[in-house]
Structure 1
Amino acid sequence: MPVRPWRPDAPTAAERIDWPAAFGTRFLVTVDVEEEFDWSAPLDRRHRATSAMRAFPEAHRRFSAAGVGLNCMVDYPVAVDPAAVAILSDCLADGRSEIGAQLHAWVTPPYGEVVDPVTSHAGNLPVALEAAKLDQLTDAITGAFGMRPRSFRSGRYGLGPASLALLAERGYRIDSSMRALHDYGRTGGMDFRAIDAHGFRRDGMIELPLTSVYTGMLRRMGHRLYPPARHVPHGRGVLARLGLLSRIPLTPEGVGSGDALAAIDQALADGVRLLTFSFHSPTLEPGHTPYVRNARDRVAFDRWWDVVFERLALRGVEPATVAKIVQTLTP
């Protein structure tokens, strides 16, 4: 029997974050720092290699030169790899970057579940098992880096109904697992269609959704038109090509720079005060993800960020750090 996807409620007005004027409008870059695996194949606990981390230092230097820190969401195979830990520890010296946690349930002990699309989303697990995996991950990161992580992402956007409370109990402050406007129910995941790009508070946590917006002439009807368009052959593509409706997440993975610029402008027009970008660390080395298959794709990845940073600077949007966000939102 199919599992009904968990769908968090839309934030209430009381839950919305009222950013102080002094914070300005800012952006945060998050990286899912993780092992390599075949994205087109079934998940397998044996796939734990972290060789793509060798490409991380050069990428970090580019971000650092632009004055941008990286919020590194580290998962278990990376946290227990001394070479990867050494690379990330060097990145922390920039004074802007920070280590967070990312829970890939299928490669994080204890292994009390059969690996399948549903259990790969940690929020679908029994609460006790989700908590045990979170403890193992948190302890591994704390031991590796000498500090407890305070930001979190559930791998595959697998946040569940108990997840935020579990995180708050363990001292986490920020979650960024909800991908605004996206629905992963068909692949065993969660339904975030009710979540938009604005930050909010819930269950003792600050939720910073990964920024996605609707653009196009019909964007105000996006919630009603975009989901059913997938049932029409090429329906979403036609809407996008006609300039009627697109859903654009802020990521260089599968999103062209022109679309990203349109999404930035729309998010700012919508009053979003913190734009949250994301990408996966294996993308930094060609051949590990569908987004960077060769050296030419890798050059395009860097160029995407150059164009995006130029637009953000033009619009007066400054880089944020986790430390700045926590300080701003702490009473």
Structure 2
Amino acid sequence: MSPPFRPADGRPVVWRAGFGTRFTLLVDTEEEFDWRAPFRHDGWGVATTAALPDAHARLAGMGARSGYLVDYPVATDPAAIDALRAVMAQGDATIGAQLHPWVNPPFDEALSNHSSFAGNLPKALEGAKLDRLTDALTAIIGTAPTVYRAGRYGLGPNTLKLLAARGYRLDSSMRARYDYGAQGGPDYRAIANHAFRTGPDGGIVELPLTTVFTGRLRRGGAHLYRAAGRIPRGRGVLARLGLLHRVALTPEDMPLADVLEAIRVAVGEGTRVLNFAYHSPSLVPGHTPYVRDAADLVAFWRWWDAVLALLARLDVHAASSDDILAAAD
């Protein structure tokens, strides 16, 4: 197998005067499927999209502006489309694209872990899938989407050129400080949290998903975390001792206390845009490993209550993807 794709960061975005420190929320708006099962073209549902309007209203009421990165099953189901339109009618919402290649035609690849990362596909096939998705979303929102996230964070060597050719202007596929190479995916360990210019002629703004190192040894950051990974249970020991913990800004499998500390660290380090995410099926118990039952859903909302309250106290305000593109120089 070829080595994992390793993107490089580029020229940092220079934010317009007065932009301040902001946060964004980009939701992986996708089908329900069995996370433990092999990839397949069928067997999915989109019933959880019915929860989107109420969830959007609740988050907007706490100051969030959500961007919904929609994949093909959601973009082509009539009931799911109705839910998206109900969200858009409320305001404080944008629609972008998310490519899950295993459920996005044309289906010309053999299903595998490797092919589940769209960036591993042949350029023509990745482009054809992106065209089908872009067309479906354009039919919903009336204009071509400009924001993209690869499902499973699966960028590849052709993706940014394909996006630029189709008018995409913001990508949020890079998950800072994570490595998916063991699964056949890309390696983002060298990617930091700052937004930067990438793609042909720097025409795409890359907004990585924010990942923060916390703990007394956090200044060792990526290097120390990588070294600890070579020792059995090494990372868990460092985290339990409060020495080093890698924290992503998501309610999914990230304890609230750790995330609150990560937010303080990120703001203190000068991160200008804190990029949050969750998967839309987590809005209904039983569809993701993160929200298995009613108690998990209560914890999910308690997490957002506390996180958004802290952001307000720190004077970190919401920014939509449109706001981010307008403020990027």
TM-score in same-fold range (> 0.5): yes
Tell me the residue number matched to 1:293.
292
Aligned to 1:96: 92
Aligned length: 326
Q: Is the 8 A contact 2:73 2:103 kept in 1?
A: yes
Any runs of at least 4 consecutive aligned residues in structure 1 with deviations exceeding 3 A, and if so which? Answer: none
1:136 aligns with 2:136: no
**What pairs with 1:100-115 in structure 2 (closer than 5 Å)?**
100-115=96-111
* TM norm structure 1: 0.96
AA of the residue aligned to 1:267? A
Cα shift readout 1:74-122 (whole Å, capped 9, x = no counterpart): 0000000011111111111233100000000111111110010011000
| Whole-Å separation in 2 of the counterparts to 1:184 and 1:86 | 34
Compute the displacement of 1:66 (Å). 1.4
Greater Cα offset, 234-243 or 274-283:
234-243
Aligned to 1:43: 39
Partner-residue secondary structure (3-state), 2:115 = coil
Runs of at least 5 residues in structure 2 that lack an aligned partner in the other structure:
none
Q: Which amino acid aligns with 1:288?
A: H
In 1, the alpha carbon distance for the partners of 2:170 and 2:176 equals 16
Alpha-carbon distance in structure 2 between the residues aligned to 1:188 and 1:327: 35
Structure 1: unaligned runs, 5 residues or longer: none
SS at match of 2:116: coil
| Percent of aligned positions that are identical | 53
In the alignment, the residues of structure 2 paired with residue 29 and residue 183 of structure 1 have an alpha-carbon distance, to the nearest angstrom, of 22
Partner in structure 1 of residue 83 of structure 2: 87
Distance (Å, rounded) in 1 between the aligned partners of 2:110 and 2:227: 32
TM-score by length of structure 2 reads 0.97
| CA distance in 1: counterparts of 2:253 and 2:174, whole angstroms | 18
Q: Map 1:58-97; keep pairs closer than 5 Å.
A: 58-97=54-93
Pairing partner for 2:145 from 135, 146, 149? 149
CA contact (8 A) 1:30 1:276 kept: yes
The answer on 1:311 being equivalent to 2:307 is: no
Give distance in 2, aligned partners of 1:170 and 1:89: 23
Deviations 1:260-292 (A, max 9, x none): 111111111221100000000011110010100
1:117 aligns with 2:113: yes
Q: Which moved more, 1:117-126 or 1:20-29?
A: 20-29
1:263 is the counterpart of 2:262: yes
Q: CA RMSD in A?
A: 1.1
